[in-house]
Structure formats: C-alpha cells, structure tokens
A = this chain, B = another copy of it.
Amino acid sequence: MAIFSKTCEYAIRAVFYIAHKTANGGRVGIKDIATGIVSPELYLAKILQDLSRKGLISSYKGPNGGFFIEPTSLSKPLSEIVEAVDGDSLFYGCALGLKQCSEVNPCPLHNDFKAIRDKIHLLLNTTTVGEFNNELMNGLFSLKK
C-alpha cells in the first residue's frame, strides 16, 4: 500500500505543478498540468475542481484561463491538500484499524505508531505548497510518473 491514494498523489503533484508555474503570475490549463505530471486529464479535472471548490487552488474561466495559486495560498501547508482528498485518518486513525485510536484502549502498535504518525503530520504541516518552486523550476525535482 502506498501512503496516499492515487487521487491524492495526483492532487499533490498537480498543486506543486500549478504553484511553480504560476508563482510569478499567469495561469496554467488542465491539459498542460495533466501532461506535466503525467495523469489522466479528465480524472485530474475532477480532482482540481474539487480542490478549487474547497478554496485550495484558484481558477479562471475563458481564454487564457486556467488554474493558478494565490500568492497567499503558496504558504498553505500540504496537509490541507491531503486532508481534503484522503481525509485525516492518516493523522489520527489507528494503525490496526480500531474504530478509535485512544490512549485508554490502544492497539499494540499505538505508542510507536503515534510517534510516526505525528512525524508525518508535522512534515505535511510544515511543508508548504510553494516550498519547492525554485527546485522545480531548476528541474531538481520531478513530478512526472
């Protein structure tokens, strides 16, 4: 099992792509994004519409329209994207699938797993949407499958 759903992988890659493409203004179309991150265009469109509805990214209709990210949104943590797509079970759920992760009735892995879960949460809370713009422009990081 991967740590994120496929939908969430597409979402994160797309958001990084949009961020670094529009950090200095402009918009980027769905075709461009789908090609840039190698993902099924129409499926990605649905995902981005959802993220747009939730205010995590912005869009503009009409010619030269497309998706973009508000400068202020560039500092949003990646955890918001993950939570919007995959929910928060990665941050708060029990590793062994107990209905409720709790200190009073923990599963055997609780203590060790909680520490790891918190690290994941911290990573995604402190990583921002626009954090890798420079590296992405320099081609140091890849978003292509």
Q: Which A residues contact B (CB, under 8 angstroms)?
A: 1-6, 8-10, 12-13, 16, 86-87, 89-90, 93, 95-99, 105-110, 112-113, 116-117, 119-120, 123, 127, 131-132, 135-136, 141-145
Contact for A1 among B3, B110, B112, CB less than 8 A: B3
Rounded to whole Å, the gap between the CB of A9 and the closest CB of chain B is 4
Closest residue of chain B to A78 (Cβ to Cβ) is B109
Cross-chain contact B1 with A145 (CB below 8 angstroms): no
Question: How many copies of this chain sit in the oligomeric assembly?
Answer: 2
Contact for A9 among B5, B97, B135, B143, CB less than 8 A: B97
Q: Can you name 16 A-B residue pairings with CB atoms under 8 Å? A: A1-B5, A2-B89, A2-B93, A2-B97, A9-B96, A13-B96, A98-B145, A105-B142, A106-B141, A108-B135, A108-B136, A108-B141, A108-B143, A112-B127, A116-B116, A119-B119
